[in-house]
Amino acid sequence: METASKIINDLMSRKGFRKKQEAAEYFGVSPQALSIWITKGQIPPKHLLKLKTENEAPTQPQQQPVAGVSNETEEKQTVINYLMNENHNLKQQVKKLNLEIEILKTPGKNDDVIGKWDNVVENLEEDTLFMSGRISDGVITDVNGKWGEILGYEGSQLLGLKYDRKDLMHHDELARTKNIQKLLKASQTLKEVRYSTIQRWKHGITGKYVVLSMVAYVNMDEDRIDVVAKSIEDFFYKEGLLN
């Protein structure tokens, strides 16, 4: 199955879209939702259906047997649990969705399960942070989400800044980030890569560090990195890791 990034890039090429926001409008979703798709590498089935009905997608996923659908759902659950493990309500939704995989064995129930997955993904946007930047110089080019509420920065304050700054990121994470950048720039074979990490970013008002769970998608050809981040402060305090 083609990655979300390739499907979206092919769509933009055919439609003449210059910005990812135009692709988001085509699907009828927010730019944040599109970033989630790119980061986790999958587009929700109901949106793939739009491409299929218009004969837009170059290759369409065939209907999977029950085992295939189960594996795909488990992969989605892994991504959701990683980003949202501190949010009890969403965790319950994901657990419920996992239990309902058995419904896929009943004819006519697939759409119901797919709809529940789409709702969980849409709920991710509420307190999730999004950031795009360039790999070559580390400059932030786009931000979305409640940065002011979670990290004390308005989005406009971050635009044009380098994300690998000691006044933004904890020095331990800064060193690791610079090492990753160095490896990516030196690689002659890596074109696209997706990785997850946990970083501490300094709050713009209090000066305290906020623990963020991040999933990053890197496209070397586009000189672009898209990051989906979620504060996991509550989870760390609950587990006694920050006490």
Per DSSP, the residues of 9-52 read HHHHHHHT--SHHHHHHHHTS-HHHHHHHHHHT---HHHHHHHH
Q: What pLDDT is recorded for position 38?
A: 82
Helical (H) or strand (E) element with 70: helix 66-84
Q: What pLDDT is recorded for position 240?
A: 46
Q: What pLDDT is recorded for position 139?
A: 93
- CATH number where 151 lies: 3.30.450.20
The reply to whether 137 and 113 lie within a common domain is: no
Q: What pLDDT is recorded for position 57?
A: 38
The reply to whether 159 and 180 lie within a common domain is: yes
Residue 32's domain comprises 4-53
The reply to whether 100 and 149 lie within a common domain is: no
Least confident among 14-23, 98-107, 117-126: 98-107
The reply to whether 147 and 189 lie within a common domain is: yes
> Is 59 a member of any domain?
no
Q: What pLDDT is recorded for position 140?
A: 93
The reply to whether 132 and 104 lie within a common domain is: no
The reply to whether 80 and 36 lie within a common domain is: no
Q: How many domains does the chain have?
A: 3
Residue 32 to residue 128: CA distance in whole angstroms:
9
Global confidence as pTM: 0.52
The reply to whether 114 and 31 lie within a common domain is: no
The reply to whether 220 and 159 lie within a common domain is: yes
Greater pLDDT, 131 or 100:
131
Residue 214 to residue 86: CA distance in whole angstroms:
14
The reply to whether 221 and 144 lie within a common domain is: yes
Q: What pLDDT is recorded for position 56?
A: 44
According to DSSP, residue 158 is labeled: H
What mean pLDDT is predicted for residues 31-47?
Answer: 79
Tokens, residue 224: 């672009």
Give which of 179, 149, 142 is closest to 164, Cα–Cα.
179
Give the N- to C-terminal CA distance of the chain in Å, as an integer.
44
> Is 45 a member of any domain?
yes
